Amino acid sequence: MSNYYPVLVLIGLLISVISAYRKAPFYNYIGIQITIYGLLKSAALIMPPLPAQVIVMYVAMSLFAFLIYFSIREETFRAFLEPMRSVLADRDKKLQRVVLVFIAIPLFAGYITYAKVRPSYKPPVTGRIVHPEPPQEIDFRGKTISILGLENPLRKETDRLKDHLEAGKKIYYQNCFFCHGDDLDGRGLFEQAFNPPPLPFRGTDTIAQLPESFVFWRIAKGWKALPPGSHPWDSAMPSFEDFLTEDQIWQVILFIYEATGNKPRTWE
């Protein structure tokens, strides 16, 4: 659907240019308003898409701006109102008047009401999925990593485990503690700033329930890993694939399990 909005921008521009040329301020306004609406809706230009309330606000603000602009000079204001006055008052516009008042406006009001009460099959916003199904494989810096059955490769390096844990601790306190907390309890400095809040790693609800491959995927991809219903507004978890190497992510994973005394779920 969003792909059609740039076309709306072109239509709006066309209307406003023609009506400016023909000195018809009302249609000029309609054209510019369509252009503004199309631009705000163009997903190609604005990512993530703007919430509907923000769009309504912009459209209302542009209406006020135009009213102020057109009312600076009396002639332009009169010309702006002319099409509305003419439809409502001129004798020869009876047909248009009947269509507008008895058909177009009731239909529009009916549609708005219908759109409001129509049952929606979208999941409710509150039903946020905390632990979505992970994909079979992910792309990590151009390399395909298979998530299914994947285990932390560093656990096999028993002689270097201490170094890996030490490195993981450093990575944690350089990258994660602002949000996930000094004590890995999800109560970092920024905890209050995010909704949903950063998850704690202590306790049995989060990483204790998850295989390490899931945790790897979440750290590598961050909010982008969540299903469409859960982002873009629904997570502040950054994606670390551009900042940490594969080994560094496995190191910080070793650390968050070790420090909380949790054991990852295994694939059996």
Q: Which residues bind ligand HEC (CB under 6 A)?
A: 131, 175-176, 178-180, 190, 194, 196, 198-199, 206-207, 215, 218-219, 223, 226, 235-238, 240, 252
Residue number, 70 or 250, with CB nearest to ligand HEC: 250
Measured distance CA(1)–CA(233) in Å, rounded: 20
CB 224 to ligand HEC: min, Å: 9
What SS3 state is found at 12?
Answer: helix
Residue number, 34 or 179, with CB nearest to ligand HEC: 179
CB 138 to ligand HEC: min, Å: 14
CB 174, CB 164: distance < 8 Å? no
What SS3 state is found at 135?
Answer: coil
Measured distance CA(89)–CA(141) in Å, rounded: 67
CB 7 to ligand HEC: min, Å: 35
What SS3 state is found at 56?
Answer: helix
CB 181 to ligand HEC: min, Å: 10
Residue number, 41 or 180, with CB nearest to ligand HEC: 180
CB 226 to ligand HEC: min, Å: 6
What SS3 state is found at 244?
Answer: coil
Distance of CA 74 to the CA centre of its chain: 44
Residue number, 111 or 243, with CB nearest to ligand HEC: 243
Structure tokens at 50: 């703007």
Residue number, 24 or 256, with CB nearest to ligand HEC: 256
Structure tokens at 139: 């792309």
CB atoms within 10 A of CB 43: 14
